[in-house]
Amino acid sequence: MLIVTTNDAPGYKITKLIGEVSGLTVRTRHIGSQIGASLKSIVGGELAGMTKQLAEAREEAMERLSENAREAGANAIIAMRFDSNELGGIYQEILAYGTAVVVEPLN
């Protein structure tokens, strides 16, 4: 699945517009990460456990985005974006979204 953040895909021609697609995941923070984050806030620095968890959540949202686009008949996603929210101070929502299209390589 070709995924780009631009409104077109250089080297490709859009032959069909399918529409908006998204991939969503909601995760709770691991208790170990929260304890580590609390301790780290005293001295400062990167919260490696939380960084890893958010990176995994983004990857999962991207996988779901690709799957939904594929099921809709697309072979590419243009204008892909991420959005995130904290829910209740405990949960992290990651949304990947974009426009599903069918593209063909330019010859």
pLDDT of residue 42: 63
Query: What pTM, to 2 d.p., does this model score?
Result: 0.82
Question: Could you report the per-residue pLDDT of 40-61, keeping only the tens digit for each?
Answer: 566 667 777 778 888 999 999 9
The answer to whether 36 and 99 are in contact (CB under 8 A) is no
Classify residue 11 as left (phi > 0), alpha (psi -120 to 50) or beta. Answer: left
**What is the rounded distance in angstroms from the CA atom of residue 21 to the CA atom of residue 33?**
31
* CB-based contacts of 5, cutoff 8 Å, min separation 6: 79, 80, 81
Q: Which helix (H) or strand (E) holds 22?
A: strand 12-28
Full set of structural domains in the chain with CATH = 2-105 (3.30.110.70)
